[in-house]
Amino acid sequence: MTRKTVSLKDISNACGVSVATVSKALNDHHDIGEDTKEHIRKVAEELGYRPNAAAQALKTNKTYNIGVLFVDEAHSGLTHDYFSHVLDSFKTTAEENGYDITFINSSKRNENSTYLSHALYRGFDGVVIACVDFYDPQVYELVSSSIPVVTIDHMFDNCMSVQSDNIKGMKEMLHYIYDCGHRKIAYIHAHENTSVTQGRLACFYNTLQELNVSVPDEYVVTAPYRNTDKTYEASMKLLNLENPPTCIICPDDFSSFGCINAAREMGLRIPEDISVAGYDGIELARRISPRLTTVVQDTKKLGSLAAEKLIALINNPKGTLIEHLLVEGQLDEGESVSKL
Tell me the C-alpha distance between 279 and 166, whole Å: 9
Shortest CB 254 distance to a copy of itself, Å: 7
**Residue 175: how many other CB atoms lie within 10 Å:** 14
Residues in contact with DNA, shown as a per-residue x/- string from 5 to 24 under the rule CB under 7 A: x-xxx------xxxxxx-xx
**Which of the ranges 107-115, 212-220, 235-243, 320-328 carries the binding residues for a copy of itself, by CB under 8 A?**
107-115
Of residues 56 through 85, those in contact with DNA by CB under 7 A are 56, 58-60
Of residues 8 through 37, those in contact with a copy of itself by CB under 8 A are none
Shortest CB 38 distance to DNA, Å: 10
Shortest CB 99 distance to DNA, Å: 16
Cα–Cα nearest to 125, from 185, 212, 57, 56: 57
E strand spans, the chain: 65-70, 100-103, 126-130, 149-152, 160-164, 185-189, 220-222, 247-249, 275-277, 294-296, 324-327, 330-332
Indicate the helix (H) or strand (E) that contains 82: helix 81-96
**Do β-strands 324-327 and 160-164 pair in parallel, antiparallel, or remain unpaired?**
parallel
318 lies in the site for a copy of itself, by CB under 8 A: no
Asked whether the beta carbons of 313 and 268 are under 8 A apart, the reply is no
309 lies in the site for a copy of itself, by CB under 8 A: no
Distances 219 to 163, 174, 185, 243, 305 between C-alpha atoms, Å: 27, 15, 7, 10, 36
Which of 16, 98, 267, 319 touches a copy of itself by CB under 8 A?
Answer: 98
Shortest CB 206 distance to a copy of itself, Å: 32
Tell me the C-alpha distance between 151 and 155, whole Å: 7
Selection from DNA, a copy of itself, none that 146 binds (CB < 5 to 8 A by kind) is: a copy of itself
Q: Which amino acid is at 326?
A: L
Shortest CB 100 distance to DNA, Å: 16
146 lies in the site for a copy of itself, by CB under 8 A: yes
First-residue to last-residue Cα distance in the chain: 70
Task: Summarize as ranges the residues that interact with a copy of itself (CB under 8 A).
Answer: 1-3, 5, 48, 50-55, 57-58, 63, 65, 75-76, 78-79, 81, 84-85, 87-88, 91-92, 95-98, 100-103, 105, 107-110, 116-117, 120-123, 141, 144-147, 228, 254, 257-258, 261, 264-265, 284, 287-289
Given the rule CB under 7 A, which residues bind DNA? 5, 7-9, 16-21, 23-24, 26-27, 31-36, 49-52, 55-56, 58-60
